[in-house]
Chains A and B, each alone.
Chain A
C-alpha cells in the first residue's frame, strides 16, 4: 500500500531557507507570466454557489508517475497527494498565451496566497504544477518559473522524459498538440486545452477547471465543500 511522504511543510511550520532565497536567474517571461494578471483574466461575473450547497462527485482516479522536483530529485506524483487536497495543473514555462499557462499560474498563485492567509485551508490544500515540456523545462527552469517567492504551498515539477510524461498526460486526459510548420518541423509551440484538476486526499479527481471557471473563489468554495463532506 502506498504511504505518502511529507513533501510539503506542515501548515505553520518554518519556511525552509531555500524557499526564501532569491533566485538569481529569473527568466523575464516567466516572471511576467507568473506575477502579472494575464490580459485575459476577468473578474467573476456571478456569485459562486455556497460551499456545501452542492456535490462534487468523483470524476476519475488520479494517476501516478515518476516526476522530478526543482532540486532534481526523483519522486512519484502520488508523493504529493494523499494527505491534502491537491490542485494539479499542467503547464509549459515558455507559454505566453494569456488564456493558457499564465492564467493558470496566476490563478493558482492567488489560491496559494489565500492558503497562506487562511489557516483553516492551509492544512487542507496544496498546489502542484507539472510541466508537459520535459526537454526544455528542466528542474532548473522550473525553479526559475517558481520565482523567488515560489510559494511554500506550491510545488513545480517536471519529468525526465517524454516517455515518463506521456502516461501521466494520458491518465489525466491532458492532450497536447505540437505545432509544426509548413515543412512539417516542430516549431517549439504547443496547443492544449487548459485543465486544472482538484484531487482529494483519496486521490480522486473531484473537479476539472478550464479557462471559463478557473477562478480562485470557485476553487476555494469547492475545496471548502469537500472539506465539509469529510466532516471538516
Chain B
C-alpha cells in the first residue's frame, strides 16, 4: 500500500516536504495543506515529532510480563491494524526484553525512528528500532544506569521527544522512594545530558508556589509557541509498587500523592510556577488550536477535569472545571485523549471500566455526552487524528490491576461514528500469554518511505 508523502507526511511544525515545484503551485499546495490538515495519527504527541497523516499500520503495545504466563517478561507487542490486511486485528510480533520491569509508558524520538519504553520498577529504558522494519521492532539498546546517571531519579515514566533529545519524567528517587523526583534529559543516541529536579518548598529554585510544592512528577507536555512546559504529579515507588488494596488501607501511604502541576520555562528548563491541583493530576494534554493556550489534566483521586490555562494577564492558572462520574465512588480517571479539533475529550475511568466522552468545546465547562463500558477495567486510550479510531488497553499497574475474573487484559479497537463506539477487534492478552497491556503507540511504513510487505514491489530507482 503506497501513498504519496504529501498525503502521508504532515508536520506539527516538524516534518517538511521539500520540492522543486513552482511557487504558485506551492502556494496552492500550502493552502490545501492548511485546509485539510492531518487526517490520522494519535493526538497529544510531541509537536516535535514526525507525524502520520494516513491510516496507522500498527499499534505498538508496551506490555507488562506476568509470572507464569508465557515467557513472563515485559515485551513490546505489535498489532496489525491495517484495514484489509490478512492479519488485521492480530498480534504479528512480540519482542521480550527479559524480566519484569513494570513496563508502563513509551515515546518516540523526534524522527520517530526509535521508541523509548521505560520500566517503573527497575528504572531501565529499552530503546526499540521501529524504522528498519515497522512490523518487527528490534530492541537495540538498554539504558540500565538511569538512576546513577541522573543522580538518584527512579521510575522513568514519560519519554517525550524534543529536538535531538528525549526528556524522561521520573516518578521517584532512590533515597526514600517517595514521589520527590526530576526530569532527565538524554540525547537521541542514549547519552545522559542533564537532570532537572522538581521544585520543592525548601528548594524552590525561584519558583512561584501556589499552595504546596511537593516535588512530584508524572507526565510532561510542551507548548513551544508560548515557551511553556507542564509537568504533573503522581506518587513514588513505595506506592506504585504496593498492592492497591494494601495502599488504600494505609493512611500514611495515601498522603503521598501529588497535588501539583508545575509550569516551566521550556527553553531554560527552569520551573516558573507550581499550581495547586490536589488529587494526583496524571496525563497532560495541550489543546492544539493556534490560539488555544490551555491544557487538560484529570485527578485520579478526586475525579475531576482540571484546566491549566493562560489568563488574560499572561499568568498560568489551574481550575477544576468538571466532575468525572461520582467522585465518592472513586472511578479513578486514568488516561485521557483530546480530539485534534480540541472539542472532545475521552476519559478512561479504571474502576468502572468506562470510556467517557466530554464535550470540551468550552474548556471551562466540559459536559459528559457519552459513556461506554469497555470491560471490567480500562486504562489507556489512544485515538487517531481524525477521531474515528480508538484503541483501549486494560492494565494500570501490576499491583493495582483488578484480581480474579475482573482482571481482563486486552487491547480493543473501536470506530467512533460521532454517536457510539463500535468494536472492531479485541485481543485477549492473557489468552495469548502476553501479559498486561499498557501504553499504545502508532507505527506506519509511510514514515520511513518503506512499503508494506503484502501489496507492493520494491521501491528502487
- A18 interface contact, C-beta 8 A: no
- B110 interface contact, C-beta 8 A: yes
Q: Which residues of B contact A195 (CB under 8 A)?
A: 163-164
- B392 interface contact, C-beta 8 A: no
Q: Which residues of A contact B5 (CB under 8 A)?
A: 177, 179, 189, 191
Q: Which residues of B contact A190 (CB under 8 A)?
A: 17-18
Q: Which residues of A contact B267 (CB under 8 A)?
A: 48-49, 54, 213, 218
Q: Which residues of B contact A193 (CB under 8 A)?
A: 14-16, 48, 50, 110-111, 163
The answer to whether B19 and A94 have CB atoms under 8 Å apart is yes
CB distance from B146 to the nearest CB of A (A): 17
The answer to whether A210 and B110 have CB atoms under 8 Å apart is yes
The answer to whether B460 and A60 have CB atoms under 8 Å apart is no
Number of CB contacts from chain A to chain B under 8 A: 152
* Complex: A195 Cα to B162 Cα, angstroms: 11
Q: Which residues of A contact B458 (CB under 8 A)?
A: 184
User: What are some 8 contacts across the A-B interface (CB < 8 A)?
Assistant: A48-B227, A94-B19, A97-B17, A101-B18, A177-B9, A184-B456, A195-B164, A212-B48
* Complex: A55 Cα to B459 Cα, angstroms: 45
The answer to whether B15 and A191 have CB atoms under 8 Å apart is yes
- B191 interface contact, C-beta 8 A: yes
The answer to whether B13 and A99 have CB atoms under 8 Å apart is yes
Q: Which residues of A contact B113 (CB under 8 A)?
A: 175
- A70 interface contact, C-beta 8 A: no
The answer to whether B111 and A45 have CB atoms under 8 Å apart is no
CB distance from B301 to the nearest CB of A (A): 34
Contact of A45 among B187, B226, B447, B459 (CB under 8 A): B226
CB distance from B18 to the nearest CB of A (A): 4
- A134 interface contact, C-beta 8 A: no
- B268 interface contact, C-beta 8 A: yes
Interface positions, chain B 141-170, Cβ under 8 Å from A, are: 163-165
- A17 interface contact, C-beta 8 A: no
The answer to whether A212 and B47 have CB atoms under 8 Å apart is yes
* Complex: A60 Cα to B187 Cα, angstroms: 7
The answer to whether B111 and A96 have CB atoms under 8 Å apart is no
The answer to whether B18 and A97 have CB atoms under 8 Å apart is yes
Q: Which residues of B contact A178 (CB under 8 A)?
A: 449
The answer to whether B17 and A191 have CB atoms under 8 Å apart is yes
Q: Which stretch from B20-28, B319-327, B400-408, B428-436 is at the chain A interface?
A: B20-28
The answer to whether A175 and B194 have CB atoms under 8 Å apart is no
Interface positions, chain A 58-80, Cβ under 8 Å from B, are: 58-60
Contact of B18 among A58, A92, A213 (CB under 8 A): A92
The answer to whether A211 and B14 have CB atoms under 8 Å apart is yes
The answer to whether A208 and B163 have CB atoms under 8 Å apart is yes
Output the nearest chain B residue to A32 by Cβ-Cβ distance: B23
Interface residues of B, count at CB 8 A: 52
The answer to whether A100 and B16 have CB atoms under 8 Å apart is yes
Q: Which residues of B contact A92 (CB under 8 A)?
A: 18
* Complex: A60 Cα to B186 Cα, angstroms: 10
Output the nearest chain A residue to B457 by Cβ-Cβ distance: A184
Contact of B16 among A49, A97, A184 (CB under 8 A): A97
Contact of A46 among B2, B21, B227 (CB under 8 A): B227
Scoring A residues 186 to 212 as 1 if CB is less than 8 Å from chain B, else 0, what string do you get?
111111111101000000010011111
- Other A-B pairs beyond A59-B165, A179-B5, 11, CB < 8 Å: A29-B23, A54-B267, A55-B269, A57-B193, A60-B191, A96-B18, A175-B111, A193-B15, A193-B163, A210-B13, A212-B225
Scoring B residues 1 to 39 as 1 if CB is less than 8 Å from chain A, else 0, what string do you get?
010110001010111111111010010001000000000
Q: Which residues of A contact B448 (CB under 8 A)?
A: 177
CB distance from B185 to the nearest CB of A (A): 7
Q: Which residues of B contact A12 (CB under 8 A)?
A: none
Output the nearest chain B residue to A132 by Cβ-Cβ distance: B18
Output the nearest chain B residue to A180 by Cβ-Cβ distance: B459
The answer to whether B449 and A94 have CB atoms under 8 Å apart is no
- A98 interface contact, C-beta 8 A: yes
* Complex: A95 Cα to B165 Cα, angstroms: 25
The answer to whether A96 and B449 have CB atoms under 8 Å apart is no
- B129 interface contact, C-beta 8 A: no
Q: Which residues of B contact A49 (CB under 8 A)?
A: 265, 267-268, 270
- B203 interface contact, C-beta 8 A: no
Q: Which residues of B contact A205 (CB under 8 A)?
A: 164
The answer to whether B15 and A188 have CB atoms under 8 Å apart is no
The answer to whether B460 and A213 have CB atoms under 8 Å apart is no
Indicate the member of A60, A173, A186, A218 with the most B CB atoms within 10 Å. A173
Nearest 8 pairs of A and B residues by beta carbon: A184-B459, A54-B268, A100-B16, A212-B224, A208-B164, A95-B18, A49-B268, A210-B163
* Complex: A58 Cα to B186 Cα, angstroms: 10
* Complex: A53 Cα to B224 Cα, angstroms: 19
Q: Which residues of B contact A180 (CB under 8 A)?
A: 2, 449, 459
Q: A210-B14, A210-B48 are in contact. Are A189 and B19 (CB under 8 A)?
A: yes
- A39 interface contact, C-beta 8 A: yes
Indicate the member of A53, A94, A212 with the most B CB atoms within 10 Å. A212
Indicate the member of B4, B11, B17, B26 with the most A CB atoms within 10 Å. B17
- B239 interface contact, C-beta 8 A: no
- A185 interface contact, C-beta 8 A: yes
Q: Which residues of A contact B165 (CB under 8 A)?
A: 59, 208
Contact of A184 among B20, B30, B187, B460 (CB under 8 A): B460
The answer to whether A192 and B16 have CB atoms under 8 Å apart is yes
- B132 interface contact, C-beta 8 A: no
